[in-house]
Amino acid sequence: MLNQLTISELTAKVARKEVSAREVMQSCLDQIGRIDGQIHAFLSYDAADALAQADALDKVVAGGAAANRPLLGAPIGIKDVLAVKGQPLNCASKILGKFVSPYDATVIQRLKAAGAIVFGRLNMDEFAMGSSTENSAFGVTRNPWDTSRIPGGSSGGSAAAVAADECLAALGTDTGGSIRQPAALCGCVGLKPTYGRVSRYGLVAFASSLDQIGPFTKDVRDAAMLLEVLSGVDHADSTSVPQPVPHYAAGLTGEIKGLKIGLPKEYMVGGLDPEVNQAVQNAVKQLQQLGAEVIEISLPHTDYAVATYYIVATAEASANLARFDGIRYGARVEGSDPISLYGNTRGAGFGAEVKRRIILGTYVLSSGYYDAYYLRAQKVRTLIRQDFLKAFEKVDVIVTPTSPTAAFKIGEKSDDPLQMYLSDIFTISCNLAGICGVSLPCGFTANPKLPIGLQVLGKPFGEETLLKVAHAYEQSTRWHKEKPIGKLTRR
Amino acid sequence: MEYETVIGLETHVQLKTKSKMWCGCANEFGAPPNTNVCPVCLGMPGVLPVANEEGLRLTTLTGYLLNCSVPRFAKFDRKNYFYPDAPKNYQITQYDKPSTVSGYVDFEFNGGISRVRITRAHLEEDVGKNFHFDRNSGVDFNRAGVPLLEIVSEPDITSADMAYEYLNALKDILIYGGVSDCDMEKGMVRCDVNVSVRPVGQKELGAKIEIKNMNSFSGVRKALEYEIPRQIAVVSKGGKLSQETRRWDDVAGITETMRTKEQAHDYRYFPEPDLMPFEPTEAWLEDVSKRVVELPLARKQRFMSAYQLPASDAQTFVWDVPLGTYFEQAVTGAKNPKAVANWVINNLRAKLAETQTALADTKVKPSSIPELVALVDSGKISGKIAQDVFAEMFATGEAPAKIVEAKGLAQVSDTGAIEKLCDEAIAANSKTVEDYKSGKVAALNSLKGQVMKLSKGKANPALVGEILEKKLKS
């Protein structure tokens, strides 16, 4: 089935006119029709627009002008936090009402220019705040491997859609693990680029200094291909970095002999599930067999990462979300004066977790508390970054579990924010340090069979090496070939 | 007991850029509501600010014009508050690391030169404008995101008049430097006034009262003329003032409480994560410093001392910079700068206005003006003839000496020639001659006029008088 192809498999076929973009798009739409009722990865999708894009690409191919379109005909699903011109933009929140984006995010422009079909609004935790997609105002997304479980979050819809072959790849965003953790829990590849690698223009900000956009794919090669398209400096984002963009896919040689892999001793924590631990240990052995050298390293400030993150991220969020006020766009609940209009609108429009974080962020920035919380957190953040930079003097990449457990049950942690926050314990430091990281499948739990993710962390702008290691490992295993689909269609 | 007043001003000035500070929308006054807007300045979800480099340059340039130092590290911060005219509900500003710090403004006041120190001039963004209609309200966001400079003075101002003169001097400097048009009608300058009073000799400052959102300099003066006696009246009766923000009611002519200290906002400033810190290079600063111009007061003082011009002439050349530049080209090497100034101000400027010609288009070479002055001063031509010569210079651009020569306008001081003309006049006006001889002294002037006429204005008038008198008395 065409929807099960990877991008690298598909684009060659489209270019050779063996398959049309329309056929592959239709195949994804058929799959969504078959199974999305059980998963609810998509909040909405515009089938007519998607097919029109496909037809336009087929015309380009027929006209012989398909060169320089590395993603030719690939249907790519979009997390509901990224602006696509003419499509709804809700951030899985009620507060945006019937908002339709008047512009394309830079990544969307780049995908379109590369020949991708950009479609669908993928479910997420409201404003990307959460680790389970249970915080969506429009219903939870279910894990394709076990629909009684969460897909991870916040980019749960993106991970589930790719894992269930509803699209060939998807875009998500990662502020504290929101790409890598759901990728791990759904059994796909999820990459968070170095801060500044990919333009954030058109990404509705949660925490501006931590957010990055990245791809969900079915294998590492596709992640490399997508990253190459997404990357590069953008005049619309001052925090994007003018660092040259390598030909990432060309670096996937399978050759990792002599590369040094660091294992942080601080990451072997109590809450780590034994099956997850075992899978990661096996992966490390596999990497050794491939010729990598494994070295124990220390990241001494690891314990402070979660606390630091919840100060920095919520502070920025409290300002970023202030614009949702009912004045210029989105839902409005009237009031007798501006202040009551704000209160009514935001009270009705935001969900509980978003409110919790806005209040937390407002508190840590308040006069008299700023130095003790925000300023202190920024100092600790610098120490955490230094931990990594020091470690990377000794090793090329760092390997850890992506998440301490496999997918948990819907509702299991939703009443305990702290437990929920701890599910990001291995992914959060990467955002604070501004480095890059990828999660890829490294095994399954026994019963039920649930995917386990391996996290590989790389140096700032070290995506080439990161992807090389991930690819070498992936190609020496079969984990990425496993599909949850059989389970779904049996239902 | 005697009281003294302590005033500090925060002046907001719109910068003269083509586009807004964070997006490409036009920075333009008077467009229909919400036409100069885009996703960025409307605070749409997902947008990011990108700094307008000209805005950064004009900020630094202002720093130089106000004698500030320019730190090599500045950054932007978010100032958080909810208001319908604020698209993001935070304002991008500079909190603890502004682009320019510690300067001063010198200006003429009370017959001397006064100095007000500048704490800082920092860059921020303007907000939209609220409109209230019968049944609802609206916001025009055309102004949102326009670059705004906040110029904060030290509390060095001691009276309403001094505040007024400081603001005018500041405005002149900013217009002069090309930083802002400072058009008050278009809301390009707005002011917050901090004022307190204390008994003379007391060291601690009195309770700081802020009067917000003043949009005219005369308004600032009027508000202070009301507020200072009000505060003194309270304190001198043993009353206590407390820190508060007040608003000026221009119609009633009074200030009234807006919010007290307890109601003050907590703006929760923190560094703007969407913008990189601003760290100018030496080359960049060098480029900006090339745009620094001579300040109005310095120019006035220089024109007065270098050319011995009266204050009024110097002031004319301060207001009309191109004319002053022309004067400086003309006056090079001239022996009589005042006369050169007179010709430039009284004749050239008038003729330009009359013919609606731009100074840049005039045919009169600057070097021609001192030539003309020298012709008059040496007695070569009369002042009256000089007027005709100038008209010819203006029309053709010809040098004055050439005009005088070509038209034979040189003054005749040849005694023989003049005697001949005098004889003619005496012969032709026997009645006038009689009058003079019978004691009517004024009749001489009439005869003089006849001689001048016969000489076509070229005869040296002093010589004519002398010779006529001699002949009539003999």
Is B259 in the same domain as B311?
Answer: no
* A490: confidence class by pLDDT, cuts 50, 70, 90: very low
pTM of the model: 0.90
Contact A236 B48 (CB under 8 A): yes
- Residue B259 DSSP code: E
Q: State yes or no: is A44 an active-site residue.
A: no
Identity of the residue numbered A272? L
Contact B46 A235 (CB under 8 A): no
* A93: confidence class by pLDDT, cuts 50, 70, 90: very high
* A149: confidence class by pLDDT, cuts 50, 70, 90: very high
- Which chain B residue has the Cα nearest residue A89? B45
In a domain, A342, yes or no: no
- What integer pLDDT is reported at residue A485 of this predicted model? 65
DSSP for A270-291, written as a single string: TT--HHHHHHHHHHHHHHHHTT
**Closest by Cβ to A238, choosing from B44, B50, B87:** B50
* Sequence-ordered list of residues with C-beta below 8 angstroms from that of A115, at least 6 positions apart, any chain: A11, A57, A60, A66, A69, A70, A71, A72, A73, A74
Instruction: Examine the pLDDT at A111 and tell me if it is beyond 90.
Output: yes
**Closest by Cβ to A319, choosing from B42, B45, B78:** B78
* Residue A30 belongs to domain with CATH number: 3.90.1300.10
Is B282 in the same domain as B315?
Answer: no
* A41: confidence class by pLDDT, cuts 50, 70, 90: very high
Name the token pair of B191. 């002011």
- What integer pLDDT is reported at residue A488 of this predicted model? 63
CA pair distance B260, A90, nearest whole angstrom: 40
Is B149 in the same domain as B198?
Answer: yes
Averaged pLDDT for residues A463-490: 88
- What integer pLDDT is reported at residue A362 of this predicted model? 97
Is B242 in the same domain as B317?
Answer: no
Is B328 in the same domain as B190?
Answer: no
Percentage of chain A with pLDDT > 70? Answer: 98
Domain end position, chosen among B364, B389, B407: B407
In a domain, A315, yes or no: no
CA pair distance A28, A165, nearest whole angstrom: 7
Is B165 in the same domain as B277?
Answer: yes
Helix (H, G, I), strand (E, B) or coil at A78: strand
Q: Which residues of A touch B (CB under 8 A)?
A: 81-83, 89, 91, 96, 99, 101-103, 105, 200-205, 207-209, 235-239, 315-316, 318-319, 322-325, 327-329, 338-339, 342, 362, 365-367, 370, 374
* pLDDT tens digit sequence for A151-182: 999 999 999 999 999 999 999 999 999 999 99
**B interface test, pick of A316, A327, A345 with most B CB neighbours within 10 Å:** A327
Q: State yes or no: is A154 an active-site residue.
A: yes
* pLDDT tens digit sequence for B431-449: 888 888 888 878 888 888 8
* Residue B427 belongs to domain with CATH number: 1.10.10.410
- What integer pLDDT is reported at residue A491 of this predicted model? 42
Contact B268 A91 (CB under 8 A): no
Q: State yes or no: is A318 an active-site residue.
A: no
Is B304 in the same domain as B283?
Answer: no
* pLDDT tens digit sequence for A336-353: 999 999 999 999 999 999
Averaged pLDDT for residues B323-329: 92
Instruction: Examine the pLDDT at A269 and tell me if it is beyond 90.
Output: no
Averaged pLDDT for residues A121-127: 98
- Put simply, whether B49 touches A (Cβ < 8 Å) is yes
In a domain, A286, yes or no: yes
* Sequence-ordered list of residues with C-beta below 8 angstroms from that of A331, at least 6 positions apart, any chain: A94, A95, A96, A97, A345, A348, A349
- Put simply, whether B264 touches A (Cβ < 8 Å) is no
CA pair distance B355, B369, nearest whole angstrom: 19
In a domain, A117, yes or no: yes
**Closest by Cβ to B266, choosing from A203, A318, A366:** A366
Instruction: Examine the pLDDT at A487 and tell me if it is beyond 80.
Output: no
Name the token pair of B445. 């002037």
Catalytic residue among A8, A27, A79, A231: A79
Domain end position, chosen among B377, B407, B437: B407
Identify the CA nearest to B193 among candidates B167, B229, B173, B230. B167
Which is more confidently placed, B239 or B166? B166
Average model confidence (pLDDT) across chain B: 91
Catalytic residue among A8, A27, A101, A178: A178
Instruction: Examine the pLDDT at A105 and tell me if it is beyond 50.
Output: yes
**A interface test, pick of B47, B88, B279 with most A CB neighbours within 10 Å:** B47
In a domain, A326, yes or no: no
Is B265 in the same domain as B165?
Answer: yes
* pLDDT tens digit sequence for A201-220: 999 999 999 999 999 999 99
In a domain, A361, yes or no: no
Give the count of domains, chain B: 3
Is B185 in the same domain as B61?
Answer: yes
Is B38 in the same domain as B157?
Answer: yes
Average model confidence (pLDDT) across chain A: 95
Domain end position, chosen among B390, B407, B424: B407
Please give the residue range of the domain that contains residue B374. 296-407
Is B261 in the same domain as B316?
Answer: no
Contact B45 A99 (CB under 8 A): yes
In a domain, A253, yes or no: yes
In a domain, A116, yes or no: yes
- Put simply, whether B44 touches A (Cβ < 8 Å) is yes
* pLDDT tens digit sequence for B155-211: 999 999 999 999 999 999 999 999 999 998 888 999 999 999 999 988 888 899 999
Give the count of domains, chain A: 1
- What integer pLDDT is reported at residue A283 of this predicted model? 97
